Amino acid sequence: MSRSPRRAKRTVMSVAQYRQGAREHNLQAGLIQYLKLHARTDVHYFAIPNAAKRSWRDAAKMKAEGLRAGVADLCFMMSGGRVAWLELKIDNEKQTAEQVMFETICNVLGHPYMVARTFDTAVAILRSWRILKEIK
């Protein structure tokens, strides 16, 4: 007796959701390009791919490996054991309940956490955290 393979549920996105995702992707990708040119050499940064669309099987595997909802989009590790977190949102998009909880955890642990809605705001935050090289 053969069973039919389990099919992954397909997520149907509206045009507005697709555009929003593309715009947030463009904001993050543009910021990464900027960091490649302007980040201090003693800063290590990386993305946390929480928002990616994946099959239920891959999602379960990643959850078992420790992936957690709500973790900020970008992590910055600096000298002296300092870590900062940057969440990118566009327009008036709200943080999820999990993102608010992660922000609370960061605040309790003393990790800087900020939300940026524009490229210029993100750069200003990074400058305030001394992530970027000094302008001469």
Q: Look up the pTM and report it.
A: 0.78
pLDDT in tens, the chain (136 residues): 555 455 544 444 444 544 555 688 899 999 999 999 999 999 999 998 776 566 778 777 877 877 788 999 999 999 999 999 999 999 889 999 999 999 999 999 999 999 999 999 999 999 999 999 987 6
Task: Phi first, then psi: give them for residue 17, nearest 5 degrees.
Answer: -65, -40
| Cα–Cα distance measured from residue 11 to residue 25, given in angstroms and rounded to the nearest whole number | 18
- Tell me what pLDDT residue 52 has: 59
Q: What are the structural domains, with CATH classification, of the chain? A: 15-128 (3.40.1350.10)
| CB hemisphere CA count around 82 (13 angstroms) | 11
- Tell me what pLDDT residue 69 has: 82
Angle, to 10 degrees, between the axis of helix 15-38 and the axis of helix 119-128? 40
Q: What angle do CA 123, 18, 37 make, to 5 degrees?
A: 25
132 DSSP 8-state letter: B
| Cα–Cα distance measured from residue 39 to residue 124, given in angstroms and rounded to the nearest whole number | 13
Closest CA to 131 of 12, 35, 7, 62: 35
